[in-house]
Amino acid sequence: MDAVLAGDRDAFRHLVERESASVVRACHRVLGDLHEAEDTAQEAFVTAYRSLASWRGDGPFGAWLTRIAVRIAVRQAGRRRSVTWLDPAGSPDGDRLDAVTAAMDGQSLAAMSRQDPAMLAVRAERAAALRDAVAMLPEPYREVVTLRFFGELSLEEIARETDRPLPTVKTHLRRGLLRLRGTVEPGGEA
């Protein structure tokens, strides 16, 4: 990092190569589209490079970079238009918690490709609905939920990166998840 802060572009390139897979993965979890995630990750690297002077160095560089990328991805997801799809199984509500589980447990693409195409479409729509619901959360809930589930940071890492006490982070996460439950579960607000 000292070389990067001194202006060595090759050292920054090394950091980009080291962190790119995890940053793209975090953006993909938020956006659900690989090409859009790659574009967002590139924007995050540019933003990070321009903001290197603001990096405090009290945590991992990758966590700081992921936080930047997730914020950009959430903003990008919030600019999308909403599309309503019908459930081909006939259930208007379906099991929306299934989408949360699929989005959060990182189910492999190979396992998903063995499923029925109609169910894949439903799962993708539910994951998109979850991402939209997260994007609509008020701050600080949106930030904590996004960093925890899409950025894959631990609660301690979130506390360190956001400069908040750990109990506050836990409270924000719980309240954010309760608000999400009200919008994505059957019988909820949405």
Q: Model-level pTM?
A: 0.49
Question: Of 113, 114, 40, which Cα lies nearest the Cα of 73?
Answer: 40
The answer to whether residues 123 and 98 touch, using CB atoms and an 8 Å cutoff, is yes
Question: Of 161, 174, 176, which Cα lies nearest the Cα of 130?
Answer: 176
Read off the tokens for 179.
Answer: 């608000």
For the cut 50, the answer to whether the pLDDT of residue 101 exceeds it is no
pLDDT tens track for 105-136: 444 444 544 566 677 677 777 777 788 888 88
Measure the CA dihedral 11/13/17/20, to 10°.
120
pLDDT tens track for 154-174: 899 888 888 899 999 999 999
Neighbours of 172 (CB within 10 A): 22
